[in-house]
Chain A
Amino acid sequence: MDVNIRINHAVKRYGDNTIITDLSLDIREGEFFTLLGPSGCGKTTLLRMIAGFNSIEGGDFYFNENRINDVEPSKRNIGMVFQNYAIFPNLTVEKNVAFGLKNRKLEKNIIEEQTTKFLELMQIDEYRDRMPDRLSGGQQQRVALARALAITPDVLLMDEPLSNLDAKLRVEMRSVIKEIQNRIGITTVYVTHDQEEAMAVSDRIAIMNFGDIQHVGTPKDIYQRPANLFVSTFIGRTNVVEGELKNIDGKIMLVLPGGFVIDVPTLKEEERKERKVICSIRPEEFILEADATEGLKATVDQFIFLGLNTHYYVHFENGEKAEIIQESTIDNVINKGSEVYLRINTKKINVFKEDGSENLVTGVKNDYEDYKNGVSVGE
């Protein structure tokens, strides 16, 4: 069952308070799509609008050709996994998983077959007669997933399903979720505030802030070519450095604090004009070599050896601080207090308009531009 979810100009209001003003999306068949954003950005609100637990104040929601705005939640054929799992504490594992099937008044042997299938798929069939309070967090999570999938839903919705688990289980469960989703091929909408988790599981991610979508794209596109400054700071770590585009000998160059001048080859042709800009330079985009004699001048405040990489914390001459990540080397001669000259991987860095609203380098792929302008990509 391949279902695509289209949302046109969705509006969500609570009283006079507008949470979502105008939001459009197109989630492709069988895609693992993640809504990612800081708390309060409206991601859970949007998910619950798709599920039918929040009213829709404006716009249209479609599952394929069917408008679902006025369809009861129980008739939307969705599987939902809740943040607190919402396992029925008074029912055994097996009865929890069979609950949705029983509501469909299926034949007994079909219910049993289907229940067993998903208990086995989630590797919890040995606990089928247990009560939920005697399960660990990870096992409860598996029950919740089995229960949601057992009804063979059109779409799977997951609301921060891993946030109640400890770090190790979280990593384990996210690969379980990803693998199951791949195997079943169900269209999945996943909500999280954990960007690493989002990168690990998603086909595409929508970054949300203040009830609006900032960027829709693959994890790679979003990380490497974020649509705006918010996206670049929200996904992964980055150093925000003020700079200026200046015409130097007939060529537009980027001048960084301390007068260090670099050429940014990826700058869009039409944006090459003199102006103030703001740069996002990720920690690994600095090149730190002890013997370099020219570059962005900085002083090392602290370094942390983490095996594969070493993290350096530095400050520039203007007092701004930055973080740098380098592959660890055998002979480490950069100590606390050393003065260093940083070079920059100019192909990788991103340069934004002064207000951070737009990326000035080429290669930004933001599907949301198409949705906003009403071009339906999924068809």
Chain B
Amino acid sequence: MAKNKKLDIWKLMSIFVLVIYGLFLIYPLFMLLRQAIIGPDGFTFEYFMKFFSKQYYFETVFNSFKVSIAATLITLVIGVPLAYFYNMYELKGKTFLQVLIILCSMSAPFIGAYAWIQLLGRSGIVSQFIYSLFNFRLPSIYGFNGILLVLSLQLFPLVFLLVSGALKNIDNSLLEASKNMGCSGAKRFFTVTIPLCMPTILAATLLVFMRAFADFGTPLLIGEGYKTFPVTIYQAYLGEVGTDHSFGAAISVIAIVITALIFFAQRYANSKFQFTMNALHPVERKAIHGVKNVLVHLYCYIVVLVAFTPQLFVIYTSFQNTSGKLFVPGFSLDSYREAFDKVPNAIPNTFIIGIIALIFVIFLAIIIAYLVVRRSNRMNRAIDTLSMVPYIIPGSVVGIALVISFNKGPIVLTGTAVIMIIALIIRRIPYTIRSSVATLQQIPMSIEEAAISLGSSKMEAFFKVTVPMMKNGILSGAVLSWVTIITELSTAIILYNTKTITLTMSVYSYVSRGSYGIAAAFATILTVTTIISLFIFMKVTGSKEISL
């Protein structure tokens, strides 16, 4: 019996995807490790020793853990009740709230940091105002407090979005049943609702922790003396005083080990909470009255408005007149004019690099989703795992690994837009893969088989029937990939040059030079781009909500 041995098109696709990951993920990580353990005189642990022997370096790990854990807890404390109120009760202006929450999560964290510095910093508007009124100095915004404030307000929307998704999957009858058995109110929230959302809460915890741990724009701007781990990586690699690439590589390896450990710890915790939910009758929002109503509204609006303040402030200052680096009274479009003048290629770069990356992300994600869901074998499961690896590696590490691998040797890409695009694809594809996989799992195989039995080839069946059905799932991941692509800082800061500078990089470089007017103009353009992207997404998919 002749077995069908010929290479079918999907097997070729598997190999193609594996080669891509091999070249742009495994090879760079390997080179990173090599750089960390091979010194001028061969194999050495010198760079690792340097890290562990100096309190200064070692402390940054503790600092990072401290601030990340604190930020994660605060986001849970803020985000879970917000999600609960939002999904259980009838709120006034809930679409407006949701849009603001999404926007909060979608700006680059360092923009929040610099806005808060201007509001609450040493010469911040709010701190000055309070001082002049009460002769009272607000506690310092720099260091631990500031990082915590910025990260919490930046990251709680992730908890909100994920937990909202879980709450929508809770069947109303579960809540009714518990009420029927005498469990209601706060007791029900803690004994029924929270445990039902536990897998999602754990997922959110991991996501927030990883983001907080890897973020370095925020501590760089607002941390001052409070050094975190990613800042050390960045400074070892690009710092103004004495860069040491091998040391940078060694710290990067340590970073990967730490995040991997956390990832597996979360996996283990998650395996204790394995169950599936599918709401036949989703919970309907209830109207509430009286004091409770007022308090719930107050809570939601205060949280969201405080979180959105930095962006409002940035938009406001982008229209302010400036004199040198100072804001002066009066409004104009001068900052925009200057921004366009000084970095004319920021907008085109952002879109060209972003759109090319997005096209590859969508194309690869569809293929990977198909391979993972429909062709589960060892090779494709390996692809699945590989594709999630960048999810747990800090962006600056990805950037450093790519530079080490492609600044000399057979393929030289450093300094080109190509390497930035590759970094973005590798880093931002997991969102689109996850959403595509989830959607494809919902689509029965028989739909494709029906198309094949009606004369379509396998490829036609997939692209003509299944992909259109996956459209909304693909897009919901793609919009996240897109927004994170255009707001990407951590790899870009290592890989960019003046030719490939993007909007986010422009914001960053003008913030660090103290030209807040121009930075605000760039940041506003970024925010508007994000809003338009979300708007287009909602129009195309007809969905009113974004889920993670």
Contact = CB atoms under 8 A, between A and B. Distances in A.
A80 B461 CA distance: 15
Contacts of B450: 80, 82, 86-88, 144, 147
B191 interface: no
B449 A73 contact: yes
Interface in A73-117: 73-76, 78-80, 82-84, 86-90, 99-100, 103-104
A82 B449 contact: yes
B444 A151 contact: no
A79 B452 CA distance: 10
A104 B455 contact: yes
Interface centre among B1, B460, B468 (most CB of A within 10 A): B1
B449 A80 contact: yes
A122 B454 CA distance: 18
A339 interface: no
Contacts of B411: none
B55 interface: no
B457 interface: yes
A45 interface: no
A73 B446 contact: no
A72 B465 CA distance: 18
Contact of B453 (A11, A56, A80, A87): A80
A83 B447 CA distance: 11
B122 to A, nearest CB: 58
Contacts of A224: none
A269 interface: no
Contacts of A11: 1
B469 interface: yes
Contacts of A144: 450
A58 interface: yes
Q: Is the interface of B mostly helix, strand, loop or mixed?
A: helix
B280 interface: no
Contact of B449 (A70, A86, A90): A86
Interface in A138-183: 144, 147-148, 151, 157
Interface residues of A, number: 35
A70 B2 contact: yes
Interface in B451-497: 451-458, 460, 465, 468-469
Interface in B1-35: 1-4
Interface in A9-33: 11
A100 B449 CA distance: 12
A100 B455 contact: yes
Contacts of B451: 88, 99
A294 B33 CA distance: 93
B444 A86 contact: yes
Contacts of A72: 452, 457
Interface in A249-285: none
A51 B454 contact: no
A55 interface: yes
A305 interface: no
B465 A88 contact: yes
A88 B451 CA distance: 9
Contacts of A57: 1
A103 B455 contact: yes
A78 to B, nearest CB: 5
Nearest to B471: A90
Contacts of B469: 88-90
A104 B449 CA distance: 16
Contact of A74 (B4, B457, B465, B468): B457
Nearest to A99: B454
Q: Identify the interface centre among B453, B456, B458, B465: most chain A CB within 10 Å of its CB.
A: B453
A82 B444 CA distance: 10
Contacts of A104: 455
B446 A55 contact: no
Contact of B456 (A51, A74, A83, A84): A74
B449 A84 contact: no
B454 A103 contact: yes
Interface of A: 11, 51-53, 55-59, 70, 72-76, 78-80, 82-84, 86-90, 99-100, 103-104, 144, 147-148, 151, 157
13 contacts: A53-B452, A55-B4, A73-B449, A74-B452, A74-B458, A84-B444, A86-B444, A86-B446, A86-B449, A90-B468, A103-B460, A148-B453, A151-B455
Given A52-B452, A80-B450, A104-B455, 6 more contacts: A58-B1, A70-B2, A74-B457, A80-B453, A82-B444, A86-B447
